[in-house]
Chains A and B, each alone.
Chain A
Amino acid sequence: MGSIDSLYDKVKRFVTEFTSGKSTSSAMTGYMTGELQIVVFMMILASFFRIFSIPLGMVILAAVVGAIFIFGPMIKTIEDENSSDLNRVLFWVMIYFAVIIAVTLWG
Chain B
Amino acid sequence: MNESISNLWSIPLFIIIPILTAIALNIMYNRKKAISVTAVASSFALVVISALSPFGFHWFTGHPAVLPTGGYTYRADLLGWRLSLEYYYGPLQQIAIFLASLLLLFVVMISIKSLKKNIGPYISLLFLTFMSSAIVIMVNDFYHMWIGVEIGSLIVAGVVLASGEAVSQKAALKYTFFSALSGAGLAIALALILGVTGYSNISDAIKAMPLSNGSLASILYVAFGFTVLSWVYAGGLAPIHPLKADVYGASFPHATVLLQAQSKLMLVAIGLLLLRVFGTLPFAKEVMLSISVLTMMLGVVMAMLQTDFRWTLAYLIVSHSGLVTLGISLGTVQGIIGGLFQAINDVVYMSVLLLACEGVYYFGRGTSIKSVSGIAKRAPWLAIAAILGAFAASGVPPFNGFQSEIILIQASLNYGMPELAIVVLMVSVTTFIALFKGIYNIFLRPDDALNNNEKTGTPVPKILYACLAALIFITVLFGVYPQLAINFLTEAALKVVYIPWVP
Contacts and interface: CB of A to CB of B under 8 A. Distances in A.
A15 interface: no
Contact of A37 (B174, B181, B419, B426): B426
Pick the most buried of B232, B239, B430: most chain A CB atoms within 10 A of its CB. Answer: B239
Contact of A86 (B177, B222, B306): B177
Given A84-B174, A101-B221, A31 B239 contact: no
Contacts of A37: 297, 300-301, 304, 426, 430
Contacts of B434: 30
B352 interface: no
A83 B242 contact: yes
Interface residues of B, number: 49
B302 A79 contact: yes
Interface residues of A, number: 36
A30 B178 contact: no
B202 interface: no
B419 A29 contact: no
B41 to A, nearest CB: 39
B498 interface: no
B27 interface: no
Contacts of A75: 301, 305
B437 A26 contact: yes
Given A34-B305, A93-B229, A44 B437 contact: no
Contacts, number: 105
Interface in A90-107: 92-93, 95-97, 100-101, 103-105, 107
A48 B419 contact: yes
Contacts of A97: 225, 229
Nearest to B289: A48
A30 to B, nearest CB: 4
B196 to A, nearest CB: 16
A84 to B, nearest CB: 4
Interface of A: 24, 26-27, 29-31, 33-34, 37-38, 40-41, 44-45, 47-48, 75, 78-79, 82-84, 86, 88-89, 92-93, 95-97, 100-101, 103-105, 107
Interface of B: 171, 174, 177-178, 181, 218, 221-222, 224-225, 228-229, 232, 238-243, 245-246, 281-284, 286-287, 291, 293, 297-298, 300-302, 304-307, 369-370, 419, 422-423, 426, 430, 433-434, 437, 441
10 contacts: A27-B307, A37-B301, A44-B422, A47-B419, A93-B181, A93-B239, A96-B239, A103-B286, A104-B225, A104-B283
Given A38-B301, A82-B298, A96-B239, 16 more contacts: A24-B370, A26-B441, A27-B305, A27-B307, A30-B304, A30-B434, A37-B297, A44-B422, A47-B419, A82-B242, A84-B171, A84-B245, A86-B177, A97-B229, A100-B287, A104-B287
